[in-house]
Amino acid sequence: MTRSSSRLIANLVIVSAGAAVAYVIVTTPPLRRLAGAATRLWLRASLPLFLMTQARQAWDEAGAAGTGGVQNDPLT
């Protein structure tokens, strides 16, 4: 068995296991509710953090490039 064929088989096993778990979660109401609650919790925690990080990066890049920020305010 070559390296590429063993990698393909391993990937197929992982995909089929994931599909089986997804099927069980979707068809079992308590697990579906748990998955929905976990997804909402994850989105509430990670989405604001992502947006704050992106805003901070944009703020820093705008100040560093000289196209905005407090350093180039003509009123001061």
pLDDT, position 63:
78
Contact 71, 63 (CB under 8 A): yes
pLDDT, position 62:
84
Q: What is the pLDDT of residues 33-53, one digit of tens each?
A: 999 999 999 989 899 999 999
Q: What is the pLDDT of residues 11-34, one digit of tens each?
A: 999 999 999 999 999 999 999 999
Task: Measure Cα distances from 59 to 50, 66, 73 in Å.
Answer: 14, 11, 14
The whole-model pTM stands at: 0.55
* For residue 71, pLDDT beyond 70: no
